[in-house]
Amino acid sequence: MTELSSSAPPRPVPGLPEAPGHLPEHWVAAYARGELSHDVLGHAEAHLERCRACVDAVDQAVRGGPHGPRLDALREALANRIG
């Protein structure tokens, strides 16, 4: 099944392992702790806007971390975009 899309594919981020399709686990973990580097934060959030699977992964990671409440607002915003 091919879906034409005007959105560009994720750009490779220098210095980071390739993440075909999904965010690397250590990104998810760092994001959940609020420690993801600003260099890649935009990349991660751009992916999270389109990928419910990774939102769920971040959500699960966040539930075990100290910044749970902060993700609720993010998830609401993302859920609104994803529908």
Q: How far is the CB of 66 from Zn ion (least distance, A)?
A: 24
Would you give the DSSP letter of residue 22? S
For 17, 19, 40, 60, 65, the CA distances from 12, given in Å and listed in that order, are 9, 8, 10, 25, 28
Q: Residue 56 or residue 72: which is nearer to Zn ion going by CB?
A: 56
Q: How many residues bind Zn ion (CB under 5 A)?
A: 4
67 φ/ψ angles, rounded to the nearest 5 degrees? -115, 30
Contact letters for Zn ion, residues 20-59 (x by CB under 5 A): --x----------------------------x-xx-----
Footprint of Zn ion (CB under 5 A): 22, 51, 53-54
